[in-house]
Amino acid sequence: MARRKSKAKQEEEFFQGLAGLAAMGLALGGYYFTKTLQGAIVGAAIGVAVVVALMIVIGQKRAERLKKSGIAEIDKMEGVQFEQYLGHLFRSQGYKAEVTQAACDYGADLVLAKDGKRIVVQAKRYSKNVGLKAVQEVRGAVSHYGASAAWVVTNRDYTEQAYKLAKSNNVRLIGREELIEMLLQMREKITAVKKANKAKTSA
């Protein structure tokens, strides 16, 4: 199984393809209307310029999204800080979250509980992609904690081997893009609660 591409990478490849198509289409259009090579070149340049402008706008929106999520702060955290932060994050989603002891955690950094189900979580605050060892560790923690599911959460992505092992062992891998979405949702909830409390106090 090939490693899944991130949303950002997919968008980048999409716009590269779009730029090529736009350049080719407008080049042909320019040549069709002017019957000159110069017209074709101008048409191609216009097509590329439009796509580049769109990429700049989308890049700015993506940068604002990343800043709002707080992922940059997570990238600087120590491992224990990341585990504690994930505890808050999952509690905002309605889970009962317990951070395990740093020593002898038996492969789980957090244990989640919701709707009668227990989930063991391996947290990896890394500067590189996470390998299959994390999948092996969290899978081994399932029986020890009496869990029904196993997750790995990282601020990065995963290696191809990790994706393969996770698929065959039914382990959920939460990478950078999904983590950012979860962070944004948590911040939206916090903002909504603050607004509601402010409205109550001012009423």
pLDDT block averages, 10 residues each, the chain of length 203:
52 64 66 70 70 66 66 91 95 94 81 96 95 95 96 97 96 95 87 74 68
**Count of domains in the chain?**
2
Q: What distance in Å separates the CA atoms of residue 130 and residue 134, rounded to the nearest whole number?
A: 7
Same-domain pairing of 85 and 180: yes
**What pLDDT, on the 0 to 100 scale, is given for residue 151?**
98
Backbone torsions φ then ψ of 182, nearest 5 degrees: -65, -40
Nearest Cα to 172, choosing from 120, 95, 106, 96? 120
Cα distance from N-terminal residue to C-terminal residue, the chain = 57
Determine, yes or no, domain membership for 16. Answer: yes
Determine, yes or no, domain membership for 29. Answer: yes
Q: Where are the beta strands (DSSP E) in 115-170?
A: 117-124, 149-154
Residue 79 is part of a domain; what is its CATH number? 3.40.1350.10
**What pLDDT, on the 0 to 100 scale, is given for residue 194?**
73
**What pLDDT, on the 0 to 100 scale, is given for residue 12?**
61
**What pLDDT, on the 0 to 100 scale, is given for residue 132?**
94
| Boundary (domain end) residue, out of 47, 69, 91 | 69
Determine, yes or no, domain membership for 2. Answer: no
Same-domain pairing of 126 and 185: yes
Rg (the chain; Cα; Å):
23
Same-domain pairing of 87 and 177: yes
Residue carrying the six token digits 């709707």? 115
Q: What distance in Å separates the CA atoms of residue 155 and residue 132, rounded to the nearest whole number?
A: 16
- Structural domain including 41 reads 7-69
At residue 8, the 3 state secondary structure works out as helix
**What pLDDT, on the 0 to 100 scale, is given for residue 83?**
95
Q: What distance in Å separates the CA atoms of residue 36 and residue 87, rounded to the nearest whole number?
A: 64
**What pLDDT, on the 0 to 100 scale, is given for residue 142?**
96
**What pLDDT, on the 0 to 100 scale, is given for residue 1?**
39
Same-domain pairing of 187 and 89: yes
Pairing of strands 96-99, 110-114: antiparallel
| Boundary (domain end) residue, out of 69, 86, 106 | 69
**What pLDDT, on the 0 to 100 scale, is given for residue 41?**
75
Determine, yes or no, domain membership for 160. Answer: yes
Same-domain pairing of 81 and 167: yes
**What pLDDT, on the 0 to 100 scale, is given for residue 198?**
72
